[in-house]
Amino acid sequence: MTTAPLWGWDEIVAGAGGTADGGAPQGAIAGLSLDSRGIAAGEVFVALKDQRDGHEFVTVAFERGASAALVRQDYARRAGDGPLIRVGETLEGLCGIARAARARLRDDAGVVAVTGSVGKTSTKEMLRACLMRLGPTHAPEKSFNNHWGVPLTLARMPASTCFGVLEIGMNHAGEITLLSKLSRPHVAIITTVEPVHIEHFSSIEGIADAKAEIIAGIEPGGVVVLNRDNPLFERLAAAARAAGIDVVSFGEHAQANVRLVKCDLKTDHTDIEAECGNGRIVYSIAAPGRHMAQNSAAVIAAIEALGQDFESTIHAIGALATFGAPTGRGAREKISRGGGTILLVDESYNANPASMRAALAALALVPRMEYARRIAVLGDMLELGEASRDLHAGLSEAIANAGIDLVFAAGPHMKSLYDRVDPLRRGLWAETSAGLKDALSGAVMAGDAVMVKGSFGSRMGPLVEALRAGASGVVHS
């Protein structure tokens, strides 16, 4: 099967608002890449300025098979360079291509943008899995949700896409407006509003208002999907009403439009019944935890808001029966050690008070009959500003409620939590995650359920690796 080229040469040059230098590429344009190391043959290399200036790597990108490069006007062509698209600023050029990609979608295509304090990637991956059942779906790699991740995702979107899914994140007020206007979603989801990245905001209301910026880019007649259980719901709904955008809500709240009426939380999946606009949907989701059930309700709301009928919505949601939590965001594996099994829960990708509570609650669902001991390995939650100490210490109740038997903690912020843990349940505190490695490996044994979580910068991932390395194998169930 031959796939259509992603872009024609004239089309991409016009989209970028640039001028062509060097004639059309010989082969088809297969994609776009920001990283010369990972570039695939036929892709356009976009020379962005980030930690390094991408212009240093243009020639290397051509050596590796780039079909063309998007460069600044003043870039001096070097030997070995192929076709160039010259623009004022490369990020602007990329945004131009993104706008063109969005504009060329068919009229009946649907675009969903996901923002929120937590659960964006999880919800985005659920949408991808579900919408794929209904038509060609395009969604970002990883967590591509920032000033370059969103335009790159759009620029990579094939013209034949039926469903586009975007993740939109932010650290500061104002960021989401730009990215939402670029994406022009028909449906936007705000998963929830929590004290995350709070060091850049004076209040939780400020965070809610920044999330509400997503409304600014919604297409006329579009819908915003809001969490009815979140205390900031009314504030967000008022912002939508002021902009003339319809609200569809989800959650356990009696007035939620998509209401979770039953959530049977099991160790490795959840059985759910949701009452929605068109009737009741009974489904299950292979990613455990109430938070994942909440995300799935947002997904149902979005699919209905895209205009899908009841049958199609049920068919799409059926995909969640095999949806496991993404890597680093609750992905579970069973590893064998000492003649028994350890359940390893990898939550090492990020952490904030909301997702810590969600992860601890999910660990509490693991039956003692299967795994007698629950171990939490926790790294600092970053970017919490002045409230950091209290927000860390405030997790002690969640730890007790989840019946955690042993706590390992790393980092200066986690110290305030560790000091509040029952002394009988203390494993070890260390300044850095590396300082926990030996003690943790020595302590973990067959029959343990171990959950490792911290902000990415707290480097908890290597502890997951160390536990895996100490195993005698992976158990396939």
Ligand X SMILES: Nc1ncnc2c1ncn2[C@@H]1O[C@H](COP(=O)(O)OP(=O)(O)OP(=O)(O)O)[C@@H](O)[C@H]1O
Closer residue to Mg ion, CB minimum distance, 120 or 413 = 120
Closer residue to ligand X, CB minimum distance, 36 or 350 = 350
Q: Does 379 bind ligand X (CB under 6 A)?
A: no
Query: ∠ CA(17), CA(21), CA(24), 5° rounding?
Result: 90
Distance of closest approach, residue 139 Cβ to ligand X, in angstroms: 12
Residue 453: both structure tokens together: 């979580």
Q: Give the interface segment with ligand X, choosing from 201-209, 242-250, 352-360, 444-452 (CB under 6 A).
A: 352-360
Closer residue to Mg ion, CB minimum distance, 120 or 128 = 120
Spatial CB neighbours of 51, under 8 Å, sequence gap ≥ 6? none
Instruction: Measure Cα distances from 133 to 136, 137, 353, 411 in Å.
Output: 8, 9, 34, 43
Q: Does 355 bind ligand X (CB under 6 A)?
A: yes
Instruction: Measure Cα distances from 16 to 172, 257, 294 in Å.
Output: 26, 41, 39
Q: Which residue is nearest to ligand X (CB)?
A: 119
DSSP string, 132-175: TTTS-EE--STT--STTHHHHHHHT--TT-SEEEEE---SSTTH
Closer residue to Mg ion, CB minimum distance, 143 or 153 = 143
Q: Which of residues 107-136 bind Mg ion (CB under 5 A)?
A: 120-121
Among positions 67, 123, 137, 143, the unique one binding Mg ion when judged by CB under 5 A: 143
Beta strands 31-33 and 43-46: pairing type?
parallel
**Contact in structure between 275 and 290 (CB atoms under 8 Å):** no
Q: Does 198 bind ligand X (CB under 6 A)?
A: no
Distance of closest approach, residue 391 Cβ to ligand X, in angstroms: 14
From Mg ion, ligand X, none, interface partner of 137 (C-beta below 5 to 8 A by class): none
Residues 226, 192: Cα–Cα separation, whole Å: 8
Residue 258: both structure tokens together: 């998509």
Query: What φ, ψ does residue 92 adopt, rounded to 5°?
Result: -65, -40
Q: Does 294 bind ligand X (CB under 6 A)?
A: yes
3-class state of residue 341 by DSSP: strand
Residues 460, 455: Cα–Cα separation, whole Å: 8
3-class state of residue 214 by DSSP: helix
Q: Does 333 bind ligand X (CB under 6 A)?
A: no
Strand order in 246-251's β-sheet?
137-138, 163-167, 110-115, 187-190, 223-227, 246-251, 258-265, 270-276, 279-285
Q: Does 455 bind ligand X (CB under 6 A)?
A: no
Q: Give the interface segment with ligand X, choosing from 36-44, 199-207, 287-295, 307-315 (CB under 6 A).
A: 287-295
Q: Does 128 bind ligand X (CB under 6 A)?
A: no
Strand order in 406-410's β-sheet?
426-430, 406-410, 373-379, 448-453, 340-347, 331-337, 473-475
From Mg ion, ligand X, none, interface partner of 122 (C-beta below 5 to 8 A by class): ligand X
Distance of closest approach, residue 167 Cβ to Mg ion, in angstroms: 6
Closer residue to ligand X, CB minimum distance, 143 or 161 = 143
Q: Does 169 bind ligand X (CB under 6 A)?
A: yes
Closer residue to ligand X, CB minimum distance, 67 or 122 = 122
Residues 65, 476: Cα–Cα separation, whole Å: 39
Distance of closest approach, residue 124 Cβ to ligand X, in angstroms: 7
Q: Give the interface segment with ligand X, choosing from 56-64, 130-138, 346-354, 367-375 (CB under 6 A).
A: 346-354
Closer residue to ligand X, CB minimum distance, 138 or 329 = 329
Under the rule (CB under 5 A), what is the footprint of Mg ion? 120-121, 143
Under the rule (CB under 6 A), what is the footprint of ligand X? 118-122, 143, 145, 169, 191-192, 291, 294-295, 325, 329-330, 347, 349-350, 354-355, 358-359
